[in-house]
Structure 1
Amino acid sequence: MVVGGSGVDTIVRVDALHVPSADSYGVPPIEEWAGHTGTGVALGCATLGLTTGFLDFIGNDHQGTLIRERLAGTGVDFWPLISPHGTRRAVNLVGPDGRRTSFYDARDPLDLRMPAEHYLPRLHRARHVHLSITNFARYLYDDIEALGIPVSTDLHDWNGATPHHREFALRSDLVFLSTAGAGERIGAVMQEILRKGRAQAVIATAAAGGAYLLTPDDRTPRLIPPAVPPGPVLDSNGAGDAFTCGFLYGRLEGRDLEECARLGAIAGAHACTARGTHTALIKPDELSYALNSTGAAATIPVTLTTTVPAARTGDQVSRTGA
């Protein structure tokens, strides 16, 4: 069950992410895609054969229609509520190398709540819940814990200090985040999540640098080497969500955490090989083939005094971006 995080991405392709000041620029055709993190996790998990439900608010607007149309026939059971504030959206600048910068419009008011009668019957059917860090989703934690359902979340580019993310960080069993926000402090942030919260694992993605896995058995994060994309890198939109899907797929199959992270790396690399958001969704046979082809890659312990490579500017994402 995925909760929150639907929206629409407007993709603008630019020659460089640091656009110089000017009145106007000519760009290739501007594209609009149903995207954002919740949509990506729901689509990716369904493509991997997991029975997937998706709960969220959307607007009674053009963007909400795009989300409904994108999810139709994909195997995702989508149960939306209509928000008078409209559908979330983002404008993403994408450079020639596929990296992006996202300008995110959350638009949900802080007092938005999902009624318990809408989500509780669906939670009773869930084996695992993935909460996007949309504000209303935090109010589901008590019911999720009372039902004994494991929960994951993606903090995206959290710097370890912003208050909005902290409850999600400390009340989830699996915590994903990017190295982009904390930079050289990412090891310390991962340790704090593990020490103060209930996480069984913290996973930090580092774009082309791979990912870092920290569990209670580790003294320092383990480096998970990056996977080789099966084609040219065209667009990194949705790569982080794809990583989460690959990891959750492995976890729900009972695989060990290190192998789950390798599956995530493979899925994330695969997502970068098509233009648009959530357009290259990996299938189970492709994931298994890639895992078996790479073999058991060695992992490298990383001390907390070691600089963990941060993603470049183009990898920085919005609060609920990929």
Structure 2
Amino acid sequence: MSEIEHVRGDATTPLGRGAEAIARVPDDIGGTGEGRNAVTVHDHGGGHVTEQDIDVLVLGGAGVDTIVYVPELPLPYRDSYPIDSGIRTRAGQTGDFTALGLAALGLTVHHLDLLGDDPEGDLVRAFHRDHGIALTAVPQPAGTKRAVNLVGPDGRRLSLYDTSRSRPGDRLPENTVRALAARARHAHVCITPPCADLLPLLRETGVTVSTDLHDWDGVNPYHEPFAFGADIVFLSAAALDDPETVMRDIAGRGRARLVVATAGAEGALLLADGELTRVPAVAPPAPVVDSNGAGDAFAAAFLHGLLDGEPPERCARRGTVAGAHACTVPATEAAALTREELLARETAAGPAPSIP
């Protein structure tokens, strides 16, 4: 394959006229040979291409996880453990689940990342096809990103990331990124390689940008381009002794106008216009079984509210509703809230008190 193709259902047809800007395969994505330079677009949910027909462009974070439910965390050393619930490999890393959450809420989503020509890549492609999410896949000779998630009885997670599935020279094609960003209202950038290099390019296009730093400790320099290069920054407070200081540092040193730190059962902290507000947690609608994807669900619901024109406090409230729901869904399943469900649960939970 030597050009981008538009794949819908079982039929393969050329991309529509509106996508001519990304119908040329750039020469700057590295490697040699037709297979390396072939970029495939899988559009499973849309019709014709028009200007700004993408609500959110998600960059990076496509991969597979192997889920193992363990009797406790940390797991004491033993020669072996029987895993009665099974050990399951499924598509869905941070970019995949953020895209899923956004799409379930009724937004038009396009996902761009590197994928291997391997069984794991096939799982990711099938995930997007099954959920009607458009996917642009850039070939990755090192293979599709993968991880092993150990999940304890209380839903806590320990993730083991396979960093061998990336290479120092990996890049996403700039022409493709520019063309997709020109069609998007917003871009959400995952912290997986090679997305840090895309932040200056996205700023040039004028699209607003969000990112999720996950459990950043406030020190690791890897996260800094994301923390200081995005307009909206999500992170977990799990590794932070003083979340407020880190949040204010992000806003002070970078571009962020909104910084949100999720804190599990304690809710979330929102920094907007220099004011820090605590948003209480929402009670989960069922027993907590798995925290996988809770942060992605929070970010998706927050962005949905923001694109709907809601104030940041209400966006954060919706985030807590979606995050609580995600904790009740096993990581082996993909069951994001719809817009109707989100709004109904937000109403049932009542207005969030504003607590400085």
Q: Which residue of 2 aligns with 1:211?
A: 268
Note if contact 1:40-1:278 (Cα within 8 Å) is conserved in structure 2.
Answer: no
Tell me, yes or no, if structure 1 residue 259 matches structure 2 residue 314: yes
Q: For 2:346, which of 275, 283, 291 is the aligned residue?
A: 291
- Deviation, 1:274, is 1.7
Q: Indicate whether 1:276 and 2:331 are aligned.
A: yes
Give the residue type in structure 1 aligned to 2:159. S
Partner of 1:50: 107
* 1:36 partnered with 2:93: yes
Determine helix, strand or coil for the equivalent of 1:180: coil
- Paired with 1:133 and 1:231, the residues of 2 have a C-alpha distance of 31
Report the more deviating stretch, 94-103 or 106-115: 106-115
8 Å Cα contact 1:4/1:57 also seen in 2: yes
Tell me the distance in 1 between the aligned counterparts of 2:149 and 2:75. Answer: 13
- Supply the AA of the counterpart residue of 2:279: I
For 1:136 and 1:85, the matched residues in 2 are separated by 13
Residue 76 (structure 2) aligns with = 20
Which position in structure 1 is the counterpart of 2:214?
156
Alignment of 1:18-167 (within 5 A): 18-28=74-84, 29-106=86-163, 107-167=165-225
Shift of 1:288: 0.5
**In angstroms, what is the RMSD of aligned CA positions?**
1.2
| More divergent stretch after superposition (46-55 vs 107-116) | 107-116
Which residue type is aligned with residue 124 of structure 1?
A: A
Structure 1 window deviating more from structure 2 (264-273 vs 290-299): it is: 290-299
Q: Across the two proteins, how many residue pairs are aligned to each other?
A: 298
CA apart distance, 1:278? 5.9
277-286 or 121-130: which moved more? 277-286
Unaligned 5+ runs, structure 1:
302-322
CA deviation map 1:238-284 (0-9, x unaligned)? 11100000000000000000000000110111111121256220000
Counterpart code for 1:25? Y
Say which structure, 1 or 2, has more relative contact order (CA 8 Å, 6+ apart): 1
Per-residue displacement from partner, 1:70-111 (whole Å, max 9, x unpaired)?
110423110111100001111111111222111111321222
Q: What's the counterpart of residue 301 of structure 2? A: 246
Q: Secondary structure at the match of 1:298?
A: coil
Classify 1:195/1:278 alpha carbon distance in 2 versus 1 (closer, same or farther; 3 Å).
farther
Deviation at 1:142, TM superposition (A): 2.1
TM-score scaled by length of structure 1: 0.90
Residue 246 of structure 1 contacts residue 267 of structure 1 at CA under 8 Å; is this kept in 2? Answer: yes
**Would the aligned equivalents of 1:237 and 1:277 in 2 still touch at CA under 8 Å?**
no
Matched, 1:10 2:10: no
| Change in 2 beyond 3 A, CA 1:57/1:278 | farther
Between structure 1 and structure 2, the one with the greater Rg is 2
**Stretches (4+) displaced over 6 A:** none
1:31/1:73 Cα in 2 relative to 1: closer, same or farther (>3 Å)? closer
Could you tell me which amino acid in structure 1 is paired with residue 62 of structure 2?
S
Question: Which residue among 186, 199, 214 is the counterpart of 2:243?
Answer: 186
**Aligned partner of residue 76 in structure 2, secondary structure:** coil
* SS, match of residue 135 in structure 1: coil
Bigger CA drift: 58-67 or 103-112? 103-112
Give yes or no for contact 2:88–2:332 (8 Å, CA) kept in 1: no
| Partner Cα distance (1:196, 1:190) in 2 | 10
